[in-house]
């Protein structure tokens, strides 16, 4: 039995996605500012009504959330800056929810945004972390492509996954993206095209990789009565988990922190994997998607390949997954990539999708994964949300 208090009375609302661009001459400040402005406009509030701010960005430097308050002319009484890459969306939600629940803030704006120039990604990778600079980048300098290729290779050897299995994930997500107006990838992807694609860092090929881009995502967290007075469509937070550097004794990463915390995730929400209507995983590479299917309890460890063979992962399928197309098709806007699943899930379960609506979507699971500090992703998190 979990001893954690429920998130009673707290809701998330107003999911905002600022359409991504491959390259931008603007700054992270500009992208974050746009997302905040759009959130305020859609919520029908004033800037000063936001008394809590949570920011994530890789390209805001040398500023942090602190500098941003002055840049944007905000005076929040609660401020957070979350450097957790793909786990930022989930972690921002759970921190903001507690702040609102405890009364430390009334309305928290959670925002992630990054810009992207022609050399941004290489520069980010070259100086990503101390361990990466000391012990990863000097070995071929392939960045996350190389690191995830090694994990993918090990996973394939261990569990018999094939490139066709990973293709099923990528092809289904591309299918979903065709209906999502902001996706940077707008062409249908076939299994043949996937398999014939240029090898980037074997066994990771072109369509296993996300496209770095500029963009921003945001949402608001507040009490349900605040939201009701504003007339907003909302989702309740049923449960969340967060874990860092899980299983450090594993010689290579074949599971993430979700495997440690999954029982609590469902127990707190009072549901099971069967009660999830749609799943948004963190999809920087398809092997990580497969691990999330396993570690979040949708199938047993090692059964990921069989799971993708026997399920239809598209919007209209029996297992709606990454319904906007995910980062693999929409693009990876830096830290905003860690929000993409959150905003999409909020839209789907509040009946405000930008593309097709998933039928009977009431309960969503959003999962995050971030920061290859050295040889593995360190941050994992997940949240279960339900239409209010």
Partner 1 sequence: MNPPLPPRRKADPLALPRQALMPQGGRSRAALGLAAMAAQGRFTLQVCVACGATQYPPRDVCHECLGTDLPWRDVATGATLLGETTVHLSGDTYFRVRTPWRTGLVALDCGPSAVAHVHPDVTPAGRARMRLMLDRSGQGVLLALPERDTANMMDDPMIREMTCDPRGRRILITDGRSALGQEAARSLLAAGAAQVFLGIADAWKPFKGQDTLPGDAVPLDLTDATSVGELAAEFGGRIDIVVNTALHIRPGGPLDRRDLVSAREEMEAAYFGPLRLAQALGPTLRARAADGPYGACAWVNIHGIDALAPDPSFALTGAAQAAGLSLSQSLRTALAPIRVLTAFVGPLEDEWHQAIPPPKVTPSALAAAILRGLREGLEEIAVGDIAMDVMRRWRDNPATLARERAG
- Provide the binding-site residues for partner 1, judged by CB under 8 A: 121-122, 125-126, 130-131, 133-143, 145-147, 149-155, 157, 198-204, 248, 251-252, 374-375
CB of 141 to partner 1, least distance (A): 3
CB of 345 to partner 1, least distance (A): 32
Cβ-based nearer residue to partner 1, 48 or 130: 130
Cβ-based nearer residue to partner 1, 7 or 58: 58
Nearest-angstrom CA–CA distance, 335 and 57: 5
- Look at residues 317, 340, 33 and name the one whose alpha carbon lies nearest to residue 183: 340
Nearest-angstrom CA–CA distance, 203 and 159: 15
Cβ-based nearer residue to partner 1, 55 or 125: 125
CB of 82 to partner 1, least distance (A): 24
**C-alpha to C-alpha distances, 303 to 98, 172, 250, nearest whole angstrom:** 36, 19, 19
CB of 301 to partner 1, least distance (A): 17
Tokens 């095209």 correspond to 193
- Look at residues 362, 14, 9, 19 and name the one whose alpha carbon lies nearest to residue 216: 19
**Beta-carbon contacts of residue 274 (< 8 Å; ≥ 6 apart):** none
CB of 186 to partner 1, least distance (A): 23
Enclosing H/E stretch for 223: strand 214-223
CB of 337 to partner 1, least distance (A): 18
**Beta-carbon contacts of residue 236 (< 8 Å; ≥ 6 apart):** 7, 10, 11, 224, 385, 386, 387, 388
Q: Is 241 helix (H, G, I), strand (E, B) or coil?
A: strand
Cβ-based nearer residue to partner 1, 58 or 137: 137
Task: Give the tokens for residue 189.
Answer: 């992807």
Strand partners for 55: 81, 111
What are all long-range contacts of 164-168, with beta carbons under 8 Å and residues at least 24 apart? Answer: 164/191, 164/195, 165/290, 165/304, 165/305, 165/308, 165/309, 166/208, 166/286, 166/287, 166/290, 167/191, 167/194, 167/195, 167/207, 168/308, 168/309, 168/313
Cβ-based nearer residue to partner 1, 70 or 202: 202
CB of 326 to partner 1, least distance (A): 22
Cβ-based nearer residue to partner 1, 129 or 271: 129
Say if residues 233 and 352 touch (Cβ distance below 8 Å). yes
CB of 174 to partner 1, least distance (A): 21
């Amino acid at each position: 039995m979990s001893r954690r208090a429920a998130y009673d009375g707290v809701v998330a609302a107003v999911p905002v996605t600022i359409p991504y661009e491959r390259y931008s001459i603007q700054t992270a400040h500009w992208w974050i500012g746009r997302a905040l402005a759009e959130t305020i406009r859609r919520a029908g509030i004033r800037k000063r009504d936001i008394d809590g701010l949570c920011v994530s960005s890789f390209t805001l430097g040398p500023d942090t959330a602190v500098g941003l308050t002055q840049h944007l002319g905000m005076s929040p009484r609660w401020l957070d800056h979350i450097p957790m890459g793909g786990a930022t969306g989930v972690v921002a939600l759970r921190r903001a929810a507690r702040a609102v629940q405890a009364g430390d803030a009334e309305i928290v704006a959670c925002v992630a945004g990054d810009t992207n120039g022609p050399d941004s990604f290489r520069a980010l990778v070259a100086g990503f972390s101390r361990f990466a600079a000391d012990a990863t980048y000097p070995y071929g300098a392939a960045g996350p492509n190389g690191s995830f290729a090694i994990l993918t290779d090990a996973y394939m050897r261990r569990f018999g996954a094939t490139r066709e299995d990973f293709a099923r994930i990528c092809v289904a997500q591309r299918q979903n993206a065709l209906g999502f107006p902001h996706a940077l990838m707008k062409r249908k992807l076939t299994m043949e095209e996937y398999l014939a694609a240029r090898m980037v860092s074997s066994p990771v090929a072109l369509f296993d990789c996300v496209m770095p881009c500029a963009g921003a995502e945001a949402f608001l967290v507040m009490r349900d009565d605040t939201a009701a007075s504003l007339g907003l469509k909302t989702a309740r937070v049923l449960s969340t988990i967060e874990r860092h550097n899980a299983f450090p004794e594993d010689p290579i990463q074949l599971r993430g922190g979700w495997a440690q915390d999954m029982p609590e995730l469902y127990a707190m929400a009072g549901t099971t994997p069967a009660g999830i209507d749609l799943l948004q995983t963190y999809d920087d590479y398809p092997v990580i998607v497969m691990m999330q299917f396993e570690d979040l309890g949708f199938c047993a460890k090692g059964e990921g390949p069989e799971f993708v063979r026997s399920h239809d992962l598209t919007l209209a399928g029996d297992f709606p997954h990454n319904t906007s197309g995910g980062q693999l098709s929409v693009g990876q806007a830096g830290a905003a990539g860690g929000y993409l699943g959150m905003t999409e899930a909020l839209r789907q379960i509040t009946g405000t999708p930008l593309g097709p609506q998933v039928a009977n979507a009431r309960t969503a699971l959003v999962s995050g994964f971030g920061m290859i500090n050295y040889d593995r992703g360190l941050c994992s998190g997940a949240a279960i949300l339900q239409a209010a």
